[in-house]
Structure 1
Amino acid sequence: MNRFVAVGDIHGCSQTLAKMLEILELGPGDTFLSIGDLSSKGEDSQGVHSQLLSLEERGVNLIVLLGNHEVMLLAMQRLAGANVDLSAFPESIFRGADISCLMRSNETWATLKSYGREVAESREFWAFRHDHPVKHFEAVSQKLDSEDWRLPQDHLDLLSRCKTHHIARNCFFVHSGIRPDIIRMDSAQTAIDSQIKEDARDLCWSREWLGQEPGFPELVVHGHTPLCYLYSFVPDTTPWRDGDLVFKSVVHNGALNLDSGVFLEAGHLTAVEIPESGCPSQFRFLRVPRLDPVCKDRLSHFNYIR
């Protein structure tokens, strides 16, 4: 029987991903699903993309969901004139993404830096907290159409094949979630169709639904919100904490959050192996503590210069 493994947000932590894949020992015919956010924040987004392509070349079925960082990166690549086919995505998912990708705090610069792009270190191209992002975008967007902004074609092709969601093994996989009123629908397929029709951005950005049980039977498996950040969205975080107050991915209230903040100082990368039955009691979890250095932004002090 082929194995099915889902992994949380990787965020450029290639060394941690490498250890995870070494332990998993996936083979041809197995499935490896990324919940999205392969890049940014960590130091080696390029290495993450390369490892996933190598995994696919070995016969592993690779499924990558579209995280908000993939949305911003693809929007930037389209802006830079790269060869990206985004026709398979709902257009609403990219609304505002080209502006968001130039906000320094969203850390798309970290992805470009991992590819050796000098523009990552240029203050001119990035809006900081005190800047008006729309005006900034208007000032610099025409300067992005150059090779220095573009990623290698095979990596662009990987990102262009991302999916907005995936339903399998009695699970509904999505990067961030869907709106509270829609998640209460009794069919996962109807819910996803409704969300895409109204505004697909919620699939990559939404947090309003956290803590609310879905109306459909499938388990919602998601990322986007590091477990240690749940305080801001859920009144009681006890279900996700053990006796040492360590936040861990657990099945609770119809959902499973796989984002364990691997890019943070005390973060780790979480994967879950899901049996064909999709029975949560048979889930096998694997957690790898962060092995990568915490990415430092040498231009971050500009956030505080007015």
Structure 2
Amino acid sequence: MRQFSDRRRDVCLIQFETSWGEQNVGRFVAVGDIHGCSQTLAKLLEILDLEPGDTLLSTGDLSSKGEDSRGVHSQILELEQRGVNVIVLLGNHELMLLAMQRSVGANVDLDAYPESLFRGAAISFLMRDNETWATLKSYGLESADDPELWAFRHDDPQRHFDKVSQRLNDIDWKLPQAHLDLLCRCKTHHIERNCLFVHSGIRLAHVKMADVHRAVDAQIQDDARELCWNRDSLGHQPGFPELMVHGHTPLSYLHSFVPDTKPWRDDELVFKSVIHNGTLNLDSGVFLEAGHLTAVEIPEDGHGPNFHFIRVPRLDPVCKDRLWHLNYM
């Protein structure tokens, strides 16, 4: 095991020893939810040292919660410009951000997605506790701190959206076009190396199907939003042979959804990503005080015992909401 010291604070970055061999053979790396933690992502990318022809897949949720969503988007674009094959899944935060960008008149091409995918997403964007305001602030949009724009805990989200929707026409919340184009290239899912990659999961009725393509197609036809929001498949064995790799639910939150969380616990890290019951959760809650960012290098045959995990403790400051108290009034 190698250790990388960091002068910003008294932490060590842990990279588990791997046998990566030659560096120009099309490595495939999947990384969990980044949530605006640009400094932590930068350190992970430094460790990975990806080259042209390699692939980096994000499970989605590049933005919100952390302080520098803009910096995360910029780093992903820089990887593409260097010839790294980038695949970004459509997380619920991409979904909300794209819906809101359409609401404020930004140039977003969403024709590749089923329209049902965005049902209610702009309303969800304006719910303060979804922490989408952090994305806007990273782009220098200080109007995100205007309390009149947000629905708080005791507000009716639909009624609030109807009240402020006219005002949205006059708000300059548009993101840079290159960043919008990146978001519009997000995928609802990806199948490669004997893995199904989705942001959150799929409904239990579909995850139990024997064929992965039919399972995903059935979920998209039924309700495509479940690929970005669903949690009811947590802890359940998929019926298809492919490993389901996802994010969305921080490992430290599993107690709310899975009765037995022992498989994800050890003495070194209270919760860590492991292959268990045909699934792999890469969301390590990097935006949390004790969070970290997890990536996994997946061999060409997708054989689980040969997966190599890299974990970087959070380097970014924890983002604070100065309007948090309005949720408790």
Normalised-by-shorter TM-score class: over 0.9
The one of 262, 265, 270 equivalent to 2:286 is: 262
Q: Which residue in 2 is equivalent to 1:31?
A: 55
Q: TM-score, normalised by structure 1?
A: 0.98
- What code does the residue aligned with 2:266 have? D
Alpha-carbon contact 1:11-1:40 (below 8 Å) kept? yes
Q: TM-score, normalised by structure 2?
A: 0.92
- What code does the residue aligned with 2:41 have? L
Give secondary structure in 2 for the equivalent of 1:149: coil
The one of 172, 181, 187 equivalent to 2:205 is: 181
Query: Partners in 2 of 1:227 and 1:241 — Cα distance?
Result: 9
Q: CA deviation at 1:243?
A: 2.5
Could you tell which deviates more after superposition, 87-96 or 75-84? 87-96
Query: Partners in 1 of 2:125 and 2:29 — Cα distance?
Result: 29
C-alpha distance after superposition, 1:64-117 (max 9, x if no partner): 000000000000000000000001111111111011000000011110000000
What pairs up with 1:124-273 in 2 under 5 angstroms?
Answer: 124-146=148-170, 148-244=172-268, 246-273=270-297
Q: Which residue in 2 is equivalent to 1:123?
A: 147
Q: Which residue in 1 is equivalent to 2:74?
A: 50
C-alpha distance after superposition, 1:178-223 (max 9, x if no partner): 0001001111100000000000011000001111100100000000
Is there any run of 5+ residues in structure 1 with no aligned partner, and where? none
Q: CA deviation at 1:263?
A: 0.2
C-alpha distance after superposition, 1:105-139 (max 9, x if no partner): 00111100000002211111000001111110001
Alpha-carbon contact 1:118-1:148 (below 8 Å) kept? no
C-alpha distance after superposition, 1:24-66 (max 9, x if no partner): 0000000000000000000000000000000100000000000
Q: CA deviation at 1:144?
A: 1.2
Query: Partners in 1 of 2:238 and 2:117 — Cα distance?
Result: 22
Give secondary structure in 2 for the equivalent of 1:63: strand
Alpha-carbon contact 1:12-1:43 (below 8 Å) kept? yes
Give secondary structure in 1 for the equivalent of 2:215: helix
Is there any run of 5+ residues in structure 2 with no aligned partner, and where? 1-24
Give secondary structure in 2 for the equivalent of 1:302: helix
The one of 114, 117, 122 equivalent to 2:138 is: 114
Across the two proteins, how many residue pairs are aligned to each other?
305
Runs of 4+ that moved beyond 6 A: none
Give secondary structure in 1 for the equivalent of 2:186: coil
Query: Partners in 1 of 2:78 and 2:313 — Cα distance?
Result: 23
Q: What's the C-alpha RMSD, in Å, of the aligned pairs?
A: 0.8
Q: Percent identity?
A: 74
- What code does the residue aligned with 1:150 have? K
Query: Partners in 1 of 2:34 and 2:166 — Cα distance?
Result: 31
- What code does the residue aligned with 1:95 have? R
Query: Partners in 1 of 2:253 and 2:87 — Cα distance?
Result: 26
What pairs up with 1:64-79 in 2 under 5 angstroms?
Answer: 64-79=88-103
Q: Which residue in 1 is equivalent to 2:109?
A: 85
Give secondary structure in 2 for the equivalent of 1:148: coil
Q: CA deviation at 1:244?
A: 4.7
Alpha-carbon contact 1:81-1:146 (below 8 Å) kept? no
What pairs up with 1:7-26 in 2 under 5 angstroms?
Answer: 7-26=31-50
Q: CA deviation at 1:146?
A: 3.9
